[in-house]
Amino acid sequence: MTSLEIAELTGKQHKDLMKAIRNMEPAWEKVNGRKFALVEYRDKKSELRPCYALTQEECLYIATKFNDEARARLVRRWKELELAERKRQQQELQTVAERAAMLRDVCEQLRPKAEFAEALLCSEDTLTVTQIAQDYGMSAIRFNKLLKEHMIQRKVGGQWVLYAPHQGHDYVRCYSTYHVSPKDGSVHTTQVMRWTQAGRRFLFEALKAKDILPNTLQSKGIQSL
């Protein structure tokens, strides 16, 4: 609470209250090892003026110089502030609980879809780009760049897609994955592209034409399957 608020609450002139606080400050500093915090405010003329920002303990110390009525007003005001803060904290907890409940509901709704997508992604009929890249001794990032360099795939909206001549041959299959934002509970979908066995064969032939072979075939000098 600032000295301005205390002056208004107790009906005192702010300049008189500031003087009283300054007179009481040495004893407080001697016992507690710190002075009262000084801050600034703008008066009616928009000029900067000093005032004190006091804790509850400091306010009660200052109030020892007040009359009974002024002291009672100050104590009641602190009680109001405590109740308001407690209410705010309860509202925050309620908001967090409601958001957690919402996220649980959304997760339950998405569980069947997630389990279905997981089953598809784990299918032996398709392969991740990481699995195919390992055949060539590359990381998935490097292999994706290689396929881009040779006009096999490109990125659209942050996702890899095949160039038109390679589409419609069952080289790839795309699946949707779902995740829930922890911030607002919104649901987001991401398309995951996996290669079929036909797609793996296509990549082998396309890269072989560029003299790029899997590591195991390079060591044996094999040029075809």
Predicted local distance difference test score (pLDDT) of residue 197 = 87
Predicted local distance difference test score (pLDDT) of residue 221 = 52
> What is the chain's alpha carbon radius of gyration, rounded to the nearest angstrom?
36
Q: Note whether residue 117 is domain-resident.
A: no
Residue 193 CA to residue 75 CA, distance in Å, equals 67
State whether 127 and 83 are in the same domain.
Answer: no
Tens-digit pLDDT profile for residues 14-69: 999 999 999 999 999 999 999 999 999 988 889 999 999 999 899 988 888 888 88
Q: At what angle do helices 68-121 and 3-10 cross, to 10 degrees?
A: 130
| Entry pTM | 0.43
Phi-psi map region of 37: left, alpha, beta (phi>0 left; psi -120 to 50 alpha)? beta
Predicted local distance difference test score (pLDDT) of residue 225 = 44
Residue bearing the bigger pLDDT, 189 or 136: 136
pLDDT at 95 over 70: yes
Residue 11 CA to residue 203 CA, distance in Å, equals 86
State whether 128 and 51 are in the same domain.
Answer: no
% of the chain exceeding 90 in pLDDT: 39
Q: Note whether residue 173 is domain-resident.
A: yes
Helix runs in 150-214, H state only: 197-208
State whether 133 and 79 are in the same domain.
Answer: no
Which of the listed residues 88, 111, 135 is the one where a domain comes to its end? 88
Predicted local distance difference test score (pLDDT) of residue 215 = 82
pLDDT band at 116 (very low <50, low <70, confident <90, very high): very low
Burial class (CB in 10 A: 0-12, 13-18, 19+), 168: exposed
Which phi and psi angles does 156 have, rounded to 5°? Answer: -130, 120
Residue bearing the bigger pLDDT, 165 or 68: 165
pLDDT band at 184 (very low <50, low <70, confident <90, very high): low
Q: Note whether residue 114 is domain-resident.
A: no
pLDDT at 118 over 70: no
Place of tokens 């075939």: 217
Comparing CA positions, the residue from 66, 65, 59 lying closest to residue 82 is 59
The parent domain of residue 199 ranges over 123-220
Helix runs in 162-212, H state only: 197-208
Residue 36 CA to residue 53 CA, distance in Å, equals 7
Tally of domains within the chain: 2
Q: Which of 20-24, 114-118, 156-160, 208-212 has the least mean pLDDT?
A: 114-118
Count the residues in the chain: 225
Q: Note whether residue 185 is domain-resident.
A: yes
State whether 56 and 9 are in the same domain.
Answer: yes
Predicted local distance difference test score (pLDDT) of residue 154 = 93
